[in-house]
Structure 1
Amino acid sequence: MGRVRVAGFAVSIDGFGAGPEQSLEHPMGKGGKDLHQWFYPTRAFRSMIGKDGGTEDRFASAAMAGFGAFILGRNMFGPAGDDWGGPDWKGWWGDNPPYHAPTFILSHHARAPIVMDGGTTFHFVTDGIEAALAQAKAAAGDLDVKIGGGVSTVQQYLKARAIDELHLVQSPIVLGRGENLFVGIDLPSLGYRVTEVVPTGLATHLVLSR
């Protein structure tokens, strides 16, 4: 059985994992794209968008590797609201999302699964985080399950003590507003400790394990 991991989850210096006022224009909230400046130059990111080249970064490569299933919060799939961004909405990523594995979306609104190019199928789970995790583990087999975000989803799985490893990327920006990962979260009490710190020119990588 694989592990349950968060990998490549970027936060600002003041702890925000997304900016305020998410919208079609600002999927990560205002200022949220700046959290990922460390990722954009890497070979891993460029290959995701069909481009060659890029820098080598082991954390970027590991952020999407070794996973047999993914779990995402509702807003990671589409803008908030009952219409899912419209009747033809199939996610933020186009016809070939970067997951290439079964991907479970936490939601209060039922929807039939969506089969995408490249091996991604979106499944919409309406009966809670435990049900989503059980389905994801069954789909992943011996591979890991990635809790892909957003902030609320990571918080829920942290509080449930379901995450084995948490890789945070502290980006050198401040957002001031948005969704703060650490509000209401006592990581030491939940059993997490820092096991690796790697500073780079664009961010500091922090790995916490239980």
Structure 2
Amino acid sequence: MGITRTHLSVSLDGFAAGPRQSVEHPLGVGGDRLHTWVFGLQAWRAEHGMTGGEVNASSAVVEEVQGNVGAVVMGRGMFGGGPGPWNEEDPWTGWWGEDPPFHAPVFVVTHHPREPLPMAGGTTFHFVTEGPEAAVEQARRVAGDRDVLVAGGAATVRDCLNAGLLDQLDLHLVPVLLRAGERLLDGVDDVRLEQVRAVEAPGVTHLRYRVLR
């Protein structure tokens, strides 16, 4: 049976996104600095339909966290399109173009209903209005023996931690200070974690935690 897990890049001061997130700055101002370690990797580029790239100590980590995913859960902020009801005249289809990198069903937690959105490469976005618990339940049902990845953003990961839905937390700790934005663990209840590994790599340290019940 698969597990429910997440992996996110965080700054040394605990932020998973920079301030003032918008269509122009989906990661917040300065938030792209959290991900420079991964953008040049061959493993990441291949997942996004690009060729070339670097191989280093992060490569095996990225291949592992991207692998064995049977379904994905994300928040409305990560899917994008702005707050409020969906714009039916110019429907938002995500940040990723016609062939999103998920290649699995994606369950978007939102307050506003919308019909499923099929895309190329096996990705279909389903919009869940009953909260993260319902989204994870639906994702687990279709994932079968594979894992459910809670892809973000930070608020959705916090909600899943507080609801006891996550089994594993992979954090990519980046040596930058954002000083503002959205902290990953602000408002998280007394969740007990057990560190199970640490991997040093250029520009990042990969930390894995098991969530204890």
The TM-score bracket by the shorter chain reads over 0.9
Matching of residue 201 in structure 1 with residue 202 in structure 2:
yes
Aligned partners of 1:47 and 1:26: how far apart in 2?
24
Report 1:47-196 matches (<5 A).
Answer: 47-56=46-55, 57-84=59-86, 87-185=90-188, 189-196=190-197
> What SS does the aligned partner of 1:134 have?
helix
1:128-187 CA-to-partner distances (Å, cap 9, x unmatched) read 11111110001101100000000000001111121111000011111111100121225x
Structure 1: segments with no counterpart, 5+ residues: none
Secondary structure of residue in 2 paired with 1:166: strand
* Alignment-derived partner of residue 4 in structure 1: 4
% identity of equivalent residues: 44
User: How high is the TM-score relative to the length of structure 1?
Assistant: 0.94
Contact persistence 1:27–1:79 (CA under 8 A): no
Q: TM-score when scaled to structure 2?
A: 0.92
Distance in 1 (alpha carbons) for counterparts of 2:111 and 2:37: 33
What CA distance in whole angstroms lies between the structure 1 residues aligned with 2:194 and 2:110? 31
Aligned residues: 207
Task: Check whether the contact 1:35–1:173 (CA below 8 A) recurs between aligned residues.
Answer: yes
- In the TM superposition, residue 48 of structure 1 has moved relative to its aligned partner by 2.9
In structure 1, what residue type is equivalent to 2:75? G
RMSD: 1.4
Residue 84 of structure 1 and its aligned partner are, at CA, apart by 4.4
Mapped to 1, the partners of 2:19 and 2:99 lie a distance apart of 27
Unpaired segments of 5 or more residues in structure 2?
none
Distance (whole Å) between structure 1 residues aligned to residue 66 and residue 119 of structure 2: 17
SS at match of 1:38: helix
Counterpart CA distance in 2 for 1:33 and 1:48 is: 18
C-alpha deviation, 1:83, in angstroms: 5.0
- CA distance in structure 2 between the aligned counterparts of 1:79 and 1:26, rounded to whole angstroms: 12
In 1, distance between residues paired with 2:50 and 2:108?
28
